Structure 1
Amino acid sequence: MPLSFLTADRAFDAVDDVALPFDDRERWRRPYRPGPWRVGVAALVLLLAAFVLLAGVATALTGDPSGAAVCLGVALVVIACALRLLRVGVWVSARGLRQVGFFVSRTTPWAQVAGARTLQQPVRWLGLPRTVQGQALVLERRDGRDPRAVPPLLTTHNADFLGRLPAFDRAADAVEAWAEEYRGR
């Protein structure tokens, strides 16, 4: 069963000269693959869910249905968290740009976007409070907000691009191309 949220469309790997290689531009899509850090953490969380489900089966076999139900509920919450972790990132469509976080998602219509550009600035390392010098893709809005005042869309040190600078460059170029084509519409 293909998991569309886990991999980006392969069109970005196959076509280098076309910035927007998609036929259905109304569909929300992530213009890059999730990084190994994000996938690894999600795999560990799913492993934890497997152990909780095993504990639920053992509890059910001992004759405690309420304990088994609690284990099943906890496992379902853990699985939902792992799936949400895999969906975190930047998604684009003809309608706008969506920045999906673990708890909150923000959608910006292309009409409010003046552009997107890459800046050299301090960025958070794997989302932790520690900052390091890196690159960040920031959104320039038409309302004149300082691009450094809003959270960056992508950074070279987040869970998708840590240690993968060429992947960051490709993803930033793809988002910039979407912004260039659709801004002001």
Structure 2
Amino acid sequence: MPLPFLTADREAEVLAAQAVPPPHADREEWRRPYRPGPWRVGGGALLLLLASYVLFSSLIIALAGAPVSAVVCAVLGALLVAAAVRLLQAGTWVSAHGVRQVRLWRTSTLRWREVESIRTLQQPVKWLGLPRTVQGQAVVLDRTGRTSSSTRAVLLTDHSADFLGRPGSFERAADVLEAWAAESGRAHG
């Protein structure tokens, strides 16, 4: 079963290397302009491994004759599977409609006409999403019509679960996001 949120097709890899948005015909579907990193995939795999143990214990508890406890374990296992899938889907996605940032608990989408610029900055960034910050690079999105710093959203960092230890992948993803913003700005401007 193909998992489109885990793998990028060959066309997207070639276009990502060239920092060019996909042809206009393919721009309607949401796509992530980079592959998920090993830290993200490893975290998802560990959650799925834990879910398998919890679901297997649910089966053992059900066979032992405690149906309420078995249901509780089964629900916990299903929640772990859902969290693993959501963790693997997390990231920045683009389409002709706009840019979408998928997080573990929420998703935010901005249309291209609401985006003033997407650029790469040197700034303190979170290391693997933890409270600890280190000096690094971040791809930030500035919204149109507002001047406060609260309108700035961090789309990617070079110390996130997708790019830690993969500086080339971060540079390609940043170039692709900037190219999408420039192309969409010309289309809507």
TM range (shorter): over 0.9
The equivalent residue for 1:2 is 2
Match in the other structure for 2:20: 19
1:18 Cα shift? 6.2
CA distance in 2, matches of 1:138, 1:18: 17
Name the residue aligned to 2:179.
Answer: 177
Between 146-155 and 99-108, report the one with greater CA deviation: 146-155
Which structure's residues are more often helix, by fraction?
Answer: 2
Cα separation, 2, equivalents of 1:59 and 1:151: 46
CA distance in structure 1 between the partners assigned to 2:160 and 2:185 by the alignment: 26
CA 1:125–1:17: 2 relative to 1, 3 Å: closer
Please, what TM-score do these two structures have when normalized by structure 2?
0.91
Corresponding residue of 1:131: 133
* Residues 35-58 of structure 1: per-residue CA shift (max 9 Å, x gap): 000110110011000000110111
SS at match of 2:125: strand
Instruction: Give how far 1:129 is off.
Output: 1.0
One-letter amino acid of the counterpart of residue 6, structure 2: L
Q: Is the 8 A contact 2:19 2:175 kept in 1?
A: no
Deviation at 1:145, TM superposition (A): 3.1
Query: Which amino acid is 1:182 matched to?
Result: S
**Structure 1 position 59, deviation (Å):** 0.8
Q: Deviations over 1:54-90 (max 9, x none)?
A: 1011111112222221111110011001111111110
Q: CA deviation at 1:146?
A: 4.8
Name the structure 2 match of 1:110. 112
Amino acid aligned to 2:147: R
Partners of 1:156 and 1:3 lie apart in 2 by 25
TM-score normalised per structure 1:
0.93
- Partners of 1:151 and 1:141 lie apart in 2 by 8
C-alpha change, 1:148 and 1:119, in structure 2 (3 Å) is: farther
CA distance in 1, matches of 2:135, 2:19: 31
Q: Which letter does structure 2 place at the counterpart of 1:39?
A: V
Mapped to 2, the partners of 1:148 and 1:156 lie a distance apart of 21
Change in CA separation of 1:34 and 1:145 when aligned onto 2, cut-off 3 Å = farther
Q: Could you say if the C-alpha distance between residues 107 and 137 of structure 1 is closer, same or farther in structure 2, counting changes exceeding 3 Å?
A: same
Any idea what SS the aligned residue of 1:152 has? strand
Unaligned runs of 5+ in 2: none
Whole-Å Cα distance in 2 between the matches of residues 160 and 18 of structure 1? 18
CA contact (8 A) 1:112 1:183 kept: no
Task: Give the aligned residue type for 2:77.
Answer: A
